[in-house]
Amino acid sequence: MTRILAPEMFGVMAIASAVITGLAMFSDLGLKQNIVQSRRGQDAVFLNTAWTLQIVRGFAISTAAILVCFAIFAVRSRGWLPLDSVYADPSLPYVVGALSLWAAIAGFESTKLFEASREILLARITSIEILTQIFGVLCMLAWAVFDRSIWALVVGTLSSAVLRAFLSHVLLPGNSNRLEWEGESVHELLGFGKWIMLASVIGFVVNSGDRLLLAGMVDATVLGFYAIASLFVGSIEGVLARLMTDVSFPALSEIVRTRRATLKQNYYRFLTVIAGGAYLASGVLMTFGGTLVDVLYDRRYHDAGWMLELTSAILLTIPFRLATQSFLALGVPHLQSYILVFRLLSLVGGTSLGFRWYGTRGALIGIVFSHFSYLPVIVYYNIKHRLFDLRIEVYLMAIFPIGILIGKVAAKLVEGLF
């Protein structure tokens, strides 16, 4: 798609997607986490009530997104936005409005997806993910044949959402959903969900804050470079995050329910796999990222290379996030909110100061720093809940220099070929 579309289109799409994601996070009820963790996670009445809440939430998000469109129009017409920022791009409000449909569509996804996560049916879930991704890309390409505009990205996103909702009902085992409302279920769902919502709100500001802050500092082209660099880091982060949320969290929840004494042992079994992938990938991208971008993309995207090498350090922090899944399994979701507050404060301060002193590069250094700022807090809570072993942590870090060496060798080999 980068060879078909211009870099600034990816910058606009990144902000529009962040707006929709933000609205979704601000209304996150923690339905998946609740169904996975709750003893009523297979109760049909409980699941149907959760599905009803999910549909209502989907329409609420869509309505809020449309209001955001009008707000962008109003602010831009008054000249309150920097003319060289992404927020002033004339296509942004229209893209946000179109993407508002995504939330309404996603609201109809079956709770069978949550049941599958509870039972760790990863193959079924992954099959749906792969099919929807392929379908979305094909729709993008089909649209781009006739119209090489940002609407190709929008159509691909909405097409994936439609297919995902459909497949969630027909390809997974579990309770078939119907509209239902039980007071006891609502009370449990919202009682647990309030902490998830708080963590999601802070988590959105933290995870999307880099793009939202940069959008006010740089133009759409530079943000497009950052979006491309983030695709590599984000894809690896996404794979490992799915392992944590779809495999580790359900398994750790079951362990807490049945054999609490083995939690630390099983925690480090998961951590070894996640840390191995994260530390190795970070080292490789840190020394091979620039070469990789030059090979895969045309010359317009060259600046995404140094951004990728710099932001690949973020992958070093991913293994520590497994602790937050353990806290959810232990029934203390509020700890996740406390942890995210530290990162939020450092993100805003570090990115703003970095940009003021050193421009775009300084802003990215501030973003990377924010990922490391909250690690002492996680370590503190891990020690408090007896989930920390310094010896194992140090051994796992030895994988990082191996990744650096592999990246340097790969860069030399590729440079020799091209």
CB 137 within 8 A of CB 5: no
Tens of pLDDT along 168-192? 999 998 889 999 988 888 887 777 6
Mean pLDDT of 51-71: 91
- For the chain, the residue count is 418
More confident residue, 289 or 247: 289
Tell me what the mean pLDDT of segment 246-274 comes to: 81
What's the rounded mean pLDDT across residues 5-20? 85
Residue with the bigger pLDDT between 255 and 406: it is 406
Same domain (yes/no): 99, 224: no
Flag whether the pTM goes above 0.85: no
Q: Residue 225 half-sphere exposure, CB side, CA atoms within 13 Å?
A: 25
Residue scoring higher pLDDT (262 or 203): 262
Average pLDDT over residues 119-125: 81
Candidate from 76-80, 198-202, 213-217, 261-265 with smallest mean pLDDT: 198-202
pLDDT at residue 158 tops 90: yes
Three-class SS of residue 280? helix
**What percent of the chain has pLDDT above 70?**
93
- Quote the pLDDT of residue 164: 95
Look at residue 193 and tell me whether its pLDDT is greater than 70: no
Higher confidence at residue 376 or residue 162?
A: 162
Asked which of 193, 225, 242 is the last residue of a domain, the reply is 193
* pLDDT number for residue 265: 83
Q: Examine the domain organization and report whether 105 and 231 are in the same domain.
A: no
Give the pLDDT band (50/70/90) at residue 151. very high
In a domain, 207, yes or no: no
Examine residue 418 and state whether it is found in any structural domain, yes or no.
Answer: no
Residue 212 in any domain: the answer is no
Statement to judge: residues 230 and 149 lie in one domain: no
Question: Both 394 and 248 in a single domain?
Answer: yes
271 and 153 assigned to the same domain: no
User: 184-189: which pairs have CB atoms within 8 A and are 24 or more residues apart?
Assistant: 185/40, 185/43, 185/45, 185/46, 185/49, 185/50, 186/49, 186/53, 188/34, 188/38, 188/40, 188/46, 189/29, 189/30, 189/31, 189/34, 189/49, 189/50, 189/53
302-354 per-position pLDDT tens digit: 889 999 999 999 999 998 888 877 777 676 666 666 777 777 888 888 888 98
Same domain, 278 and 315: yes
Instruction: Report how many domains make up the chain.
Output: 2
Question: Is-contact 402 281, C-beta < 8 A?
Answer: no
- Has residue 205 been placed in a domain? no
Confidence (pLDDT) at 264? 80
Higher pLDDT, residue 76 or 104: 104
Output the six-digit token pair for 261: 């004494």
158, 177, 193 - which closes a domain: 193
My answer on whether 128 and 234 are in the same domain is: no
Average pLDDT on 38-46 reads 83
Residues whose CB falls within 8 Å of the CB of residue 207, separated by 6 or more in sequence, listed in order? none
Structural domain boundaries, residue 109? 1-193
The answer on 221 and 187 residing in a single domain is no
- What tens digit of pLDDT does each residue of 81-99 get? 766 677 778 888 999 999 9
> Are 178 and 295 in the same domain?
no
117 shares its domain with 55: yes
**Of 193, 208, 241, which residue is a domain's last?**
193
Quickly tell me which residue has 């049916």 as its tokens. Answer: 121
pLDDT of residue 142: 94
Please provide the average confidence, as pLDDT, over all residues in the chain. 85
